[in-house]
């Protein structure tokens, strides 16, 4: 049973801000990062695969890892959690969806106002100049057609800054919203985790949806235990009757 006060806050919301993490894509078959046994960072050291230094050391290894992740995501489809968020966007006056995921599944599910905070797996950038490029994907380490430097996956690595526009738009949304939903994230990685804290300081109603509570849960108004693919459709069903 979902808290009626949360459904009521969504009914009255002017601007809803949502932050998603790997947990929302778990039900599409994409592994999360930090869960025991199954998490990607349980099996691989991020310092070998997801830093600029790792890329400079062994770009072929890093490319193999990202090609594997691309193929995993290419074979996956959005789940009821992604689809419920796309429908929620149609029911409220404004919704900003900030995702830490690089899988593009929110856009494939039909969400429109999406900020890809950590970039996108399927974008390729020049390692030297940072611009988006098209590459010959056959090469073990593709190169930039303009400058000849290494091409890299268009994701944000550890030690790198969040793209300025994504950062500004996300923090503006967290500051402006009246309801903030934190879904499927361990809330351990900043600055993304700071969005919920900012929303709370600005007196938004803040709710977490996660099978287990995270370290930030006791600071939120609601911690709803459960999988995104079950809880979000239920939330939508509670809301849609009144907000059509």
Specify the residue for token string 């849609």: 240
Q: Which long-range contacts (CB under 8 A, 24 or more apart) does 217-226 make?
A: 220/182, 220/196, 221/5, 221/6, 222/3, 222/5, 222/6, 224/2, 224/3, 224/6
Closest C-alpha to 173, from 3, 15, 2, 8: 15
170 binds ligand OAD, rule: CB under 6 A: no
189 binds ligand OAD, rule: CB under 6 A: yes
Closest C-alpha to 104, from 119, 85, 87: 119
Residue of the chain from 29, 212, 215, 225 that contacts ligand OAD (CB under 6 A) = 212
118 binds ligand OAD, rule: CB under 6 A: yes
Q: Three-class SS of residue 222?
A: strand
Residue 180 in tokens = 């903030």
Catalytic residue among 44, 82, 106, 118: 118
**Between 98 and 205, whose beta carbon lies closer to ligand OAD?**
98
Shortest Cβ distance from residue 201 to ligand OAD (Å)? 21
Residue of the chain from 16, 17, 28, 33 that contacts ligand OAD (CB under 6 A) = 33
Shortest Cβ distance from residue 157 to ligand OAD (Å)? 6
238 binds ligand OAD, rule: CB under 6 A: no
106 is catalytic: no
184 binds ligand OAD, rule: CB under 6 A: yes
Give the whole-angstrom CA distance, residue 167 versus residue 116: 10
Binding site for ligand OAD (CB under 6 A): 21-24, 26-27, 32-35, 39, 46, 50, 100, 118, 156, 184-186, 188-189, 209-212, 214, 227-229
């Amino acid at each position: 049973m979902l808290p009626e006060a949360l459904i009521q806050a969504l009914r009255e919301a002017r601007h809803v801000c949502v932050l998603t993490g790997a947990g929302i894509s778990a039900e599409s078959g994409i592994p999360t990062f930090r869960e025991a046994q199954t998490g990607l960072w349980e099996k691989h050291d991020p310092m070998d695969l997801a830093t600029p230094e790792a890329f400079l050391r062994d770009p072929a290894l890093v490319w193999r890892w990202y090609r594997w992740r691309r193929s995993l995501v290419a074979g996956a489809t959005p789940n009821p959690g992604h689809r419920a968020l796309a429908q929620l966007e149609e029911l409220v006056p404004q919704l900003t969806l900030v995702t830490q995921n690089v899988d593009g599944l929110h856009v494939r599910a039909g969400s429109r106002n999406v900020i890809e905070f950590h970039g996108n797996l399927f974008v390729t950038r020049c390692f030297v100049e940072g611009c988006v490029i098209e590459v010959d994907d056959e090469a073990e380490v593709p190169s930039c057609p303009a400058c000849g430097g290494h091409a890299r996956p268009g994701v944000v690595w550890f030690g790198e800054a969040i793209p300025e526009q994504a950062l500004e738009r996300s923090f503006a949304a967290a500051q402006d919203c009246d309801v903030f939903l934190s879904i499927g994230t361990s809330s351990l990685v900043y600055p993304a985790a700071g969005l919920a804290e900012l929303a709370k300081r600005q007196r938004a109603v803040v709710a977490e949806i996660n099978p287990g509570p995270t370290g930030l849960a006791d600071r939120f108004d609601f911690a709803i235990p459960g999988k995104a693919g079950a809880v979000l459709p239920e939330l939508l069903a509670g809301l849609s009757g009144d907000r059509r």
